[in-house]
Chain A
Amino acid sequence: MKKISLNEDWLAVIIAFALLLLALVGAISPDWTKF
């Protein structure tokens, strides 16, 4: 079986896009993230 490796850069990109998606579907309230 081919070993799949994921480096830090790709993981950061995946997490960032997941957060983007969650924000765009309205799953994250501005009240939780207010900076």
Chain B
Amino acid sequence: MSVEIKPSSPRSILLGPITGFILVVGLAFLAHWIKLRVYDTQLPFGIPGKVLEYPLWAALIGLLANLVLRLFKAHGRLRGGFRTEFFLKIGLVLLGATISFKTIATAAGGAVLQALVLIAAVYLFAWWLGGKFGLSDTLRAVMASALSICGVSAAIAAAGAVHAKKQEITYITALVILVALPMMVLMPILAHWMGLSGAVAGAWFGGNVDTTAAVVGAGKIYGAEAETIATIVKSTQNAFIGVVAFFLALYFTTVVEGKENRKPSAAVIWQRFPKFVIGFILASILFSVGLIPAAAKAAPFNAGNVIAAMKDWAFCLAFVSMGLTISFSDLKQMGWKPVAVYLIVTAFNTVLALGAAWLIFGLLFPA
């Protein structure tokens, strides 16, 4: 007896991601609804109620839905619709349309300086410590990139450059989100407790929290200035992905694999460059030259409010997706050593980024 296996039709291939996307939208509405009801609540110990902003609810609801979907074995079919980075990038470009280019240009000097200091120090420390704990070269390259640049996207770029195993990428991705989620809430509380200005707090979040979504979330919780500076600082770090990926590929092909004649092309710097940064800057320029404000004024509705709200919706979809994509089972497979390295380097990054943010955005380039 022969069994005929029919190939999946395009319709059935798309059904899962589309259903996943609809689920993300539905959960984002739920997160928004909860936020409206608890936003003014005063927390114990004088913690501001603003900590209960939508990024927290969206991520928590996403996490709960994630557990339920895995319980009913539906997660795999729907995960194509959980596009954290994609929603985040749409939100970041929309955010650019509300920020003056002067703000970006003013903060850019400090952001580049801070990015250079933190990327170099955190990367080298993570690489060294990973070696001491006996982690493989590919795993510590992926981990060091995630910790020093920008979490998931840096991990993927580094994994491509060093030919890391797929298991190592999923592991680091899970670790990044699991650590970033509590930091998104804790860091604004700590910044509030230390009385940091919006600029210093934003630079601290941008230099420390590993994934861009959680950086934006922490900034949003702390206030508008922190959100702007955190985004600029993190986007600047994002822009270095290509450079790091190039040098990693160079190091691994020539030193680790010993293939002198197969040096990577410098084109990788452009290939890995996060193109949304161009959209973010372009939108900011259009805002700064007055095109967007003039068009917004002429619009029948308050277009400025619409743009700001659409940005928040895009971020909300990103936070829901972040909660939906975390995988605890990936973490179990690697043991305690990578977790220990990751947490120690995160603590080092937290202290170093605080010092750098205070020195650069508090003293050298005050907003």
Residues of A within 8 A of B274 (CB): 9
- Are A28 and B301 also in contact (CB < 8 A) when A20-B283, A33-B309 are? yes
Contact residues of A: prevailing secondary structure: helix
Nearest-neighbour CB distance to chain A for B266, whole angstroms, equals: 19
Q: How many of B's residues come within 8 Å of A, CB to CB? A: 35
Say how far A31's CB is from chain B's closest CB, in angstroms.
9
| Smallest Cβ-Cβ distance to B305: which chain A residue | A30
Give CA–CA (A34, B93) in the complex, Å: 19
A9 touching B310 by the CB < 8 A rule?
Answer: no
Main secondary structure of the interface of B (DSSP, over half): helix
CA distance A11 to B88 in the complex (A): 12
Tell me whether B303 and A23 are in contact (CB under 8 A).
yes
Digitize A1-35: 1 where CB-to-B-CB distance is under 8 Å, 0 elsewhere: 00000011111110111011001111011100111
B14 at the interface (CB under 8 A from A): no
Residues on B with beta carbons closer than 8 Å to the beta carbon of A35? 32, 54, 308-309, 312-313, 316
Residues of A contacting B89 with CB < 8 Å?
8-9, 12-13, 16
Q: How far apart sit A7 and B301, CA to CA, in the bound complex (Å)?
A: 33
In the complex, the answer to whether B299 meets A23 with C-beta atoms within 8 Å is yes
- Interface contacts (Cβ under 8 Å), in number, total 84
B86–A11 touching, CB < 8 Å: yes
Interface: B275 (CB within 8 A): yes
Given A24-B296, A35-B313, also A29-B301 (CB < 8 A): yes
Give the chain A neighbours of B312 by CB distance below 8 A. Answer: 35
23 contacts between A and B (CB under 8 A): A7-B275, A9-B276, A9-B279, A12-B89, A12-B93, A12-B276, A13-B278, A15-B90, A16-B91, A16-B94, A16-B279, A19-B94, A19-B307, A20-B94, A20-B292, A24-B296, A26-B301, A28-B306, A28-B310, A30-B302, A33-B306, A33-B309, A33-B313
Q: A9-B279, A19-B94, A23-B310 are in contact. List 19 more A-B contacts (CB 8 A).
A: A8-B86, A8-B89, A9-B89, A12-B90, A12-B93, A13-B89, A13-B276, A16-B90, A16-B279, A19-B90, A19-B310, A20-B292, A26-B299, A26-B300, A28-B306, A29-B301, A35-B32, A35-B309, A35-B316
Q: Using a CB–CB distance below 8 Å, which chain A residues touch chain B?
A: 7-13, 15-17, 19-20, 23-26, 28-30, 33-35
